[in-house]
Structures are given as structure tokens and as C-alpha cells.
């Protein structure tokens, strides 16, 4: 039983009695399919940014703070398939969606050796009250699956969220920045000095949240920052 959480055990039992359905089209999944059927998987609008320098993810952070490289897995559009998946991950207790997305992304990055030189992954933290309510931090679930595919550790508590911020969804760029400013602080001590860390978040919109995290890390030690998000909003 080592390594199996109660959540995974419970989900395994549920799946014994209820067949897994595709999150895209609700058809029954077959062997080796866990979240999307093969047909729906091709509908995710992958960016392939990890093979493109000066991609849109990098441009969104350009000039705001020093970073090495940045990428996103797929386009996030209103009512699109990725929005549906991330909604399930955040609000319908479907942590396996984050595990699947993280593994897909991490495998693609590892195939291009994108992670070369990166020492650890730091997921954007949730406030403890929200993490307790949700049962997990969705960015940490994604980060752990990415880390498994890329063979690098996760430093999950290197940052902590000190304020339970309001949802960013309906805010303007300026409001988003103000909402997350000072929302993060150093967490548990990790040997950050001289290291290259990958900040992982679920969706990139204006980048205010990622920037706030990066600024705290840059203020803690002499670190290099790279960034990876599952979604990039149009
Ligand atoms: Zn499907």
C-alpha cells in the first residue's frame, strides 16, 4: 500500500463500479486512456512552445523579471476542452486530470530535453484554507506528474501563500497584479542559492501570479527562474 493515498484508493474503487468516461465526449474509455479518449486528445490545441524560442508565453513575461525560458502546454479558450479539464481539476475533485495533464506535458518537455539544467519544480502555492477545502493544490498535482516525467524533484513548500486572494477571473490586468502582490512569502528552507527552478502554474493569463512568485524566489536567493503552465489563455 505504500505510496497509495486514500484518495487514489477511493477513486480506484469508484472506477471498479463506474466505467471511466472521456472528459471530452463522455464515451467509455478503453485501456491506456485515463482522462480523454484518443479522439478528444487530438482536440487539445497544443502550443509546442518548448520548441520555439520567443514564444507567446515568453513574450508575456518579457521585461518583467529575469527568466531563462517559458512555455505552456496548450491554448486555453473560453468553453474549450482545456477549460473543461481544468475546471474538473479545480472544482470537481478530479485530481487525476492534473496528473494526466502534468504527465503529458512533462513527457513532451523531456522528449525535447527542455528541462536540462533545471534543478527543481516549485508549484504556485494555494492558501492553506483553500487547499484544505479543495483537498489538494492543483498546481502541485500537475508539478508532481511533470517532475515524474522529467526526473527532477518538486520543492512544494518553497513558497507559501500568505493571503487567500480573490479569484482573478473577472479582474483587469492592474487589478490582478494588485490582488496577488504580497500574497506569497518564503516557505520551507530549500537550498535555492545557485539553483534553476521551474515555476509551475495551471493557467497563464496576465502572468501576475507567476510574476509574484518569481519575485519572491528572486528575493530569497541567487536563483534562475523558468516557467511552465498547462494553459495559456488567449
Ligand atoms: Zn472523447
Residue 12: band (very low, low, confident or very high) from pLDDT cuts 50, 70, 90: low
CATH number for the region 45-165+173-233 comes to 3.40.50.2020
Alpha-carbon distance of 12 to 5, in angstroms, equals 11
Mean pLDDT of 163-180: 77
pLDDT digits (tens, 9 = 90+) for 57-102: 999 999 999 999 999 999 999 999 999 999 999 999 999 999 999 9
Quick one: cell of 107? Answer: 513527457
Helices in the chain by DSSP H: which ranges?
6-17, 38-41, 56-61, 81-91, 95-111, 128-134, 138-150, 173-180, 208-220
Separation of 230 CA from ligand 1 center, angstroms? 19
Burial of 9 (C-beta count, 10 Å sphere; 0-12/13-18/19+): exposed
Mean pLDDT calculated for residue range 163-174: 76
Question: Which is higher by pLDDT, 22 or 171?
Answer: 22
The pTM for the full model equals 0.89
Sorted by where each begins, the domain ranges of the chain are: 1-43, 45-165+173-233
Backbone angles phi, psi at 82, to 5 degrees: -65, -35
State in Å: Cα 41 to ligand 1 middle.
Answer: 7
Q: How far is the CA of 21 from the centre of ligand 1 (A)?
A: 8
Q: What is the pLDDT of residues 33-59, one digit of tens each?
A: 999 999 999 999 999 999 998 999 999
Q: How far is the CA of 29 from the centre of ligand 1 (A)?
A: 8
Percentages of the chain per state (helix, strand, coil), in multiples of 5: 40, 15, 45
- Reply yes or no on whether the pLDDT at 1 is more than 50: no
The answer to whether 139 touches 123, Cβ cutoff 8 Å, is yes
CA of residue 11 to ligand 1 center, whole Å: 20
pLDDT of res. 216: 97
Mean residue pLDDT of the chain comes to 92
Amino acid at each position: 500500500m505504500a505510496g497509495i493515498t486514500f484518495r487514489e484508493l477511493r477513486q480506484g474503487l469508484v472506477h471498479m463500479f463506474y466505467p471511466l468516461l472521456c472528459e471530452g465526449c463522455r464515451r467509455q474509455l478503453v485501456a491506456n486512456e485515463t482522462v480523454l479518449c484518443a479522439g478528444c486528445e487530438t482536440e487539445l490545441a497544443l502550443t509546442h512552445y518548448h520548441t520555439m524560442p520567443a514564444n507567446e508565453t515568453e513574450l508575456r513575461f518579457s521585461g518583467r523579471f529575469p527568466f531563462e525560458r517559458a512555455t505552456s502546454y496548450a491554448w486555453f479558450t473560453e468553453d474549450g476542452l482545456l477549460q473543461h479539464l481544468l475546471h474538473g481539476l479545480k472544482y470537481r475533485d478530479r485530481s487525476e486530470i492534473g496528473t494526466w495533464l502534468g504527465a503529458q506535458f512533462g513527457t513532451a518537455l523531456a522528449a525535447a530535453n527542455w528541462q536540462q539544467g533545471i534543478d527543481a519544480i516549485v508549484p504556485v502555492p494555494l492558501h492553506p484554507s483553500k487547499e484544505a477545502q479543495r483537498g489538494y493544490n492543483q498546481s502541485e498535482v500537475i508539478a508532481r506528474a511533470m517532475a515524474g516525467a522529467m526526473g527532477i524533484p518538486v520543492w512544494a513548500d518553497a513558497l507559501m501563500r500568505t493571503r487567500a486572494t480573490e479569484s482573478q477571473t473577472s479582474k483587469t490586468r492592474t487589478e490582478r497584479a494588485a490582488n496577488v502582490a504580497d500574497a506569497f512569502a518564503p516557505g520551507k528552507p530549500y537550498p535555492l542559492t545557485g539553483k534553476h527552478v521551474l515555476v509551475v502554474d495551471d493557467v497563464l493569463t496576465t502572468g501576475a501570479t507567476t510574476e509574484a512568485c518569481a519575485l519572491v524566489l528572486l528575493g530569497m536567493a541567487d536563483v534562475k527562474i523558468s516557467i511552465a503552465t498547462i494553459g495559456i489563455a488567449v
